[in-house]
Amino acid sequence: MSRGGASKDRQDGPERKCIATGEVQPKYGLIRFVAGPDDVIVPDILGKLPGRGVYVAADRDALQRAADKNLFARGLKHKVRVPPDLTDAVERQLARRVVDLISLARKSGAAVAGYEKVKAWLDREDAEVLIQAIDGSGRGKSKLSTPHFGRYIGWLTADELGMAFGRETVIHAALASGGLGKRVVEEAQRLRGMRETDGGTGRREGK
């Protein structure tokens, strides 16, 4: 798996070239950027803003390189201004996107939160994705295992998960197969790339 992107063995979907790394990869592993009305670079998280766009891998280092080396102007072929907090802004918007998608899954009955409910879904094999807060107790999280052939998301905070479920904090959550699960996983992978550091993010590939 590429850092911040989905599994490289997936071949479907249109591809774009990252202006920072030069790699061509599926759009779901990239972030699109456009120039706003004042020629200020704007992240297009949903990929729907009008105008010419350029793409950067969902990777904090790649995005910082694009900003530092003026690669946005080169890709867009005109002078642009890069906000000093662009990297952090992208991370915040991606986190909000993941939270919103999990919230939609909850409202459709495709997501549950709380240790007992999550454990019940895992025992019945109703869960395809296990989500645990990065700042939750390691001992408590170790009692639940990633679904067989499922996915694990472990780089949202307890506060962020809480927002998705209308609670103050949430440590354990799960998504059912189908529905919004695939979109949550893909957006979460982009967020992971923005949150990974040399020290890691407490990520776990599965047990």
Encoded amino acid at 174, one letter: A
- Domain 90-195 sits in CATH at 3.30.1330.30
* 15-84 and 90-195 in the same fold: no
State the Cα–Cα distance between residues 60 and 78, nearest whole angstrom.
24
The superfamily in CATH containing domain 15-84 is: YlxR-like (3.30.1230.10)
State the Cα–Cα distance between residues 119 and 125, nearest whole angstrom.
10
The arithmetic mean of pLDDT across residues 87-112, rounded, is: 96
Domain ranges of the chain: 15-84, 90-195
Tell which residue, 149, 206, 142, has the closest CA to residue 172: 142
Q: What is the pTM of this model?
A: 0.85
Tens-place pLDDT, residues 162-187 = 999 999 999 999 999 887 899 999 99
Mean pLDDT taken over the chain: 89
Tens-place pLDDT, residues 184-202 = 999 999 999 999 754 444 4
